[in-house]
Amino acid sequence: GAVVSQHPSRVICKSGTSVKIECRSLDFQATTMFWYRQFPKQSLMLMATSNEGSKATYEQGVEKDKFLINHASLTLSTLTVTSAHPEDSSFYICSAKGLAGGQETQYFGPGTRLLVL
């Protein structure tokens, strides 16, 4: 159980275009999802907390108009990178809150590798 999917797994786009990444919890409902970005050989940096039915909470330094988050249902959150630039190239990973052994934890999606040319 507790499977999280992400789509697409890989995307290449031109500078100035927008890219949407989907995160789905497949076998459980997730009222809260999280979005991270990870540069090569670095740690996961929390970008924002996505709450179903309400606005996302962004971490300090993350532009909310640049990274649009929508959590439209209990199983789907989307991250849209607007007007992407080469410096937005990164590995984007979502996670969803779920239960493991009766305790709440986070389950990660497989990640989306974004390359902006």
Site residues for another protein per CB under 8 A:
32, 34, 41-46, 49, 57, 59-60, 93, 95, 97, 100, 103-111, 113
Residues 6+ apart with CB under 8 A from 61: none
Round to whole Å and give the CA distance between 89 and 109.
Answer: 18
5/82 with CB nearer another protein = 5
- Among residues 78, 106, 112, 117, the alpha carbon closest in space to that of 10 is found at 112
Nearest distance from C-beta of residue 103 to another protein, angstroms: 7
Nearest CB to another protein, comparing residues 45 and 74? 45
CB of 16 to another protein, least distance (A): 27
Please, is 77 exposed, middle or buried when counting C-beta atoms within 10 Å of its C-beta (0-12, 13-18, 19+)?
A: buried
The two three-digit tokens of residue 42, written as one number: 């670095």
The minimum distance between CB 53 and another protein, in angstroms, equals: 16
Nearer to another protein, 26 or 85 (CB): 26
Minimum Å distance from CB 111 to another protein? Answer: 6
User: Beta strands 10-13 and 112-116: pairing type?
Assistant: parallel
Nearer to another protein by Cβ, of 18 and 63: the residue is 63
